[in-house]
């Protein structure tokens, strides 16, 4: 089972424009949508539609409409309180796939809420193959909270994946090897921010930067590089995967789908290159769908993903 934590859940509003976004003008939307969101929620949603047992842990009132909507869709949701209402995130997508996001701050988390969340995750981890800590932290949470939760989860047999950014990611990296997860999933910009690199859209450079994190205790780094695919670096080697041709509609949730694809492949016992291929296939499928629509297994074409091995030490060819 995959247990996910969305520490800062959201309602995701998506506005799809019929032309380019022009600041200061009145624009007409081609379509709009609204759905529960947050990285962990998206990962659990992808798991559910793929038939993988999953449980989503969120700090949210149990009677909140977001919770009711998720449960009505079939998702197993565990709420932890006392917590405020989910934040509102707004995404604007243009016909060429350009995506602009305006994310709300979220409700302020108390120390009591954070303690309750950590305790519940440790409890849920007893039944989990993977625990995923995903997304931003709410206001009031210390930047190092994810690192503290990783350390607490080490008392269980579950493997731990982290997908976050900004101060929480920097705090996690600064504290390595303490609190090192089994899998870290940054994008190119996030990977650069914690390794001191300037630009990591190049797969070889990204793999070399990811290698420094593996050397510091992270078991695996899955770095997504947008149109350049993704790299996977573990103690055993480095690989780069090129995505299939994709008509990009919205990149929102593509990284979450990539992470789920990797976890799905790992649960199936697939090799590292196969895990990377399924991760990239899931991300590409998500990018070709509107809003935060999650891909179903028939939409995922891992057979169209090309994977090449990189030097296991330097990350180069």
256 catalytic? Reply is yes
**What's the burial of 122, exposed, middle or buried (CB within 10 Å: 0-12/13-18/19+)?**
middle
Q: Tokens 């197993």 identify what position?
A: 76
DSSP code at position 101:
E
Asked whether the beta carbons of 107 and 93 are under 8 A apart, the reply is no
Where residue 76 falls (left for φ over 0; alpha for ψ -120 to 50; beta otherwise) is beta
What gap in Å lies between CA 312 and CA 317, rounded to an integer?
9
Angle separating helix axes 188-195 and 203-215, nearest 10 degrees: 50
What gap in Å lies between CA 99 and CA 20, rounded to an integer?
10
H or E segment at 132? strand 130-134
Out of 157, 256, 303, 311, pick the active-site residue.
256
Asked whether the beta carbons of 163 and 255 are under 8 A apart, the reply is yes
Beta strand pairing status for 2-6 and 54-59? parallel
Q: Which of 55, 64, 53 is nearest to 5 (CA)?
A: 55
Strand, coil or helix: what is 262?
A: helix
H or E segment at 58? strand 54-59
Q: Which residues have a Cβ under 8 Å from the Cβ of 26 and sit 6 or more positions away? A: none
Asked whether the beta carbons of 179 and 154 are under 8 A apart, the reply is no
DSSP code at position 266:
H
Beta strand pairing status for 87-93 and 10-17? parallel
Strand, coil or helix: what is 276?
A: helix
- Positions annotated as catalytic residues are 256
């Amino acid at each position: 089972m995959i247990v996910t934590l969305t520490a800062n859940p959201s309602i995701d509003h998506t506005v799809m424009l019929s032309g380019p976004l022009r600041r200061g003008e009145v624009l007409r939307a081609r379509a709009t949508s609204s759905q529960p969101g947050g990285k962990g929620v998206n990962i659990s949603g992808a798991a559910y539609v793929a038939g993988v047992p999953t449980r989503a842990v969120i700090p949210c009132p149990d009677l909140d409409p977001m919770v009711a909507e998720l449960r009505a869709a079939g998702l197993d949701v565990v709420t932890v309180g006392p917590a405020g209402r989910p934040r509102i995130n707004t995404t604007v997508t243009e016909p060429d796939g350009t995506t602009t996001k305006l994310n709300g701050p979220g409700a302020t988390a108390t120390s009591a809420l954070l303690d309750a969340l950590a305790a519940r995750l440790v409890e849920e981890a007893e039944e989990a193959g993977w625990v995923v800590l995903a997304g931003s932290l709410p206001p009031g949470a210390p930047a190092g909270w994810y690192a503290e939760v990783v350390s607490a989860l080490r008392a269980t047999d579950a493997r731990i994946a982290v997908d976050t950014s900004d101060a929480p990611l920097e705090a996690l990296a600064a504290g390595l090897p303490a609190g090192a997860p089994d899998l870290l999933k940054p994008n190119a910009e996030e990977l650069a921010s914690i390794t001191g690199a300037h630009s990591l859209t190049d797969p070889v450079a990204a793999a070399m930067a990811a290698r420094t994190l593996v050397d510091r205790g992270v078991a695996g780094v899955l770095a997504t590089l947008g149109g350049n695919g993704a790299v996977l670096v573990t103690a055993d080697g480095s690989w780069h995967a090129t995505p299939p041709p994709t008509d990009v509609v919205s990149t929102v949730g593509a990284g979450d789908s990539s992470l789920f694809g990797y976890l799905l492949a790992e649960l199936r016992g697939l090799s590292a290159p196969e895990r990377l291929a399924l991760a990239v296939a899931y991300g590409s499928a998500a990018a070709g769908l509107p809003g935060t629509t999650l891909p179903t297994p028939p939409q995922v074409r891992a057979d169209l993903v090309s994977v090449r091995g990189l030097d296991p030490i330097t990350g180069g060819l």
